Structure 1
Amino acid sequence: MSKPSLITQDLTIRFGGHVAVNAVSCDFRPGELTVIVGPNGAGKTTYFNLISGQLRATSGRVLKDGTDLTKMAPSTRAHHGVGRAFQLTNLFPELSVLENIRLAVQARSGDGWRIFRSARSLTELTARAERYLEATKLQGVAHQAASELSHGDQRKLEVALLMAMEPDIYMFDEPTAGMSLDHAPDVLELIAEIKHDTSKTVLLVEHKMDVVRALADRIIVLHNGTLLADGNPEEVMSSQLVKDVYLGKGVEPA
């Protein structure tokens, strides 16, 4: 079994007297897609925010390949390879889709925001951006302003920008939310392709059970901010405790 690429140790956050995430400890490994599920208010997105840095933990730690990220800003965590789709959405809304992706490629290359660059450098950046454009099936809107995209294409642009940053950890929070039946399969196919890269770790918050069954190697269940279950999809989904939680029976973790 590969070494964990991402670890949360007793990760906790309190808002006043409310404990939104309560001492959650999990290891995540390369080549594994983990889906985080739970009823509304379970703490799923809050847990994601703690990992990616949008929220600062009250206690506990987030480790990436042995590096403590707990006190780092989201941008610094991204530099360390933790990528979350919404962080890059519509980087420049009035620029074209291709230009947005090219800027993400440029940022990843360490080329900064230099105004003056060689024509060869610009051509190379554009060629790399076009590969992500093709991978996400956005060629038809390449020269359209990002702000003018349909919701489905905006979600695909999120994935393209995230891919362009080449993270080790991919984080998707309900990636098909609000998408039409026509667009959703494209995004799910992209996530499935990322999953097949055994050097990448994928975390997914999702409530659609058909998506969970199609993609998950592992499921963790949060309930009232506490880790309730963790295991392979068949075991977790057949657990009576998990079923009771989804039926609203007020079950407390053992």
Structure 2
Amino acid sequence: MSFSLETRDLTIRFGGHVAVDAVSCAFRPGTLTAIVGPNGAGKTTYFNLISGQLKASSGRVFVGGDDITSLPAPERTKRGLGRAFQLTNLFPNLSVMENIRLAIQARRGMGLNLWSIWSNHRALIAEAEAILERIALTARRDAPAASLPHGDQRKLEVGILIALEPTVFMFDEPTAGMSVDEVPVILDLIREIKRDMTKTILLVEHKMDVVRELSDRIIVLHNGKLAADGEPAEVIASPVVQQAYLGMAAEDEEEAEAAR
């Protein structure tokens, strides 16, 4: 099986600080990889290098075997990289429906003009409505995105990502700032995407219960370096990872396991 995404010695320096330090990882279709580590470990910076928000100091990024290192973020999206941001990335003054519809238009190469595609309007609306139902926002279809509470904005952002139909889904703390009642909708959407074995999912997440449940693999970043990479049980059970990178003592984890 080929890799859908690969980084080779990916590095970025800010002055004398190396934020991501020669990280080499390959990601296969049909797997969800959780990227964990303490604050400042380089997780979001690594995402930004992959998706093109930051330019690497050195190293390469490959999608489907093609070198995309020199491509800007929009071109990387066209190559199949889909990024959901830690902070919502929406068209705030447009409605929920229009946000989804524009993402569908962009995927189909129709551009972002709201009014120039009347012949395709009905099909676009039908596809957008199906996505709104999946993300539980049908009742808010006509509301401006800016008027949505934070949890609904996160759901809309995932809906936009689904509308783009990427090969690689990148979620940066998708449940951050959401209430306990709102989290299951996001997790169910990620589970649904995960069932498609042609898709690759990368997940930055601090909540270890979410990581345990969803991940097929965990990689740990620390001071910008790749510190661990393996199956979830193996990585989580490592005393070094628990103490230094996940902020828990080994004995606490043993007690937690015993209590389950």
Same-fold call, TM cutoff 0.5? yes
CA distance in 2, matches of 1:247, 1:219: 12
Compared CA separation, residues 88 and 69, structure 1 to 2 (3 A): farther
Mapped to 2, the partners of 1:139 and 1:41 lie a distance apart of 37
8 A contact 1:35–1:205 mirrored in 2: yes
Label 1:117 to 1:217 Cα distance change in 2 as closer, same or farther (>3 A).
Answer: same
Partner Cα separation in structure 2 for residue 247 and residue 27 of structure 1: 23
237-246 vs 125-134, greater mean Cα deviation:
237-246
Task: Within 5 Å, give how 1:1-254 maps onto structure 2.
Answer: 2-86=1-85, 89=88, 91-113=90-112, 115-119=115-119, 121-246=120-245
Gaps of 5+ in 1: 250-254
2:85 is paired with a residue whose SS is: helix
Letter in 2 for 1:219: I
Q: 1:241 to 1:217 in 2, by over 3 A?
A: same
After superposition, give the CA deviation of every residue in 1:60-88 in whole Å (9 maximum; x if it has no partner).
00000111111111111001010101399
Aligned sequence identity (%): 63
Paired with 1:32 and 1:129, the residues of 2 have a C-alpha distance of: 27
Q: What CA distance in whole angstroms lies between the structure 1 residues aligned with 2:246 and 2:151?
A: 31
TM-superposed deviation, 1:219: 0.1
Distance 1:126 1:107 in 2: 14
Q: Any conservation in 1 of the 2:36–2:246 contact (CA below 8 Å)?
A: no
Unpaired runs of at least 5, structure 2: 249-260
Instruction: Report SS of the residue matched to 1:54.
Output: coil
> What residue number does 1:252 align with?
none
CA RMSD of aligned residues (A): 1.7
- Cα contact 2:34–2:215 (8 A) shared by 1: yes
Q: Which runs of 4+ in 1 moved over 2 A?
A: 86-92, 113-119, 246-249
In structure 1, how many angstroms separate the alpha carbons of the residues matched to 2:140 and 2:150?
Answer: 13
What is the match of residue 255 of structure 2?
Answer: none
Question: Distance between the aligned counterparts of 1:233 and 1:87, measured in 2?
Answer: 23
**Number of aligned residue pairs:** 247
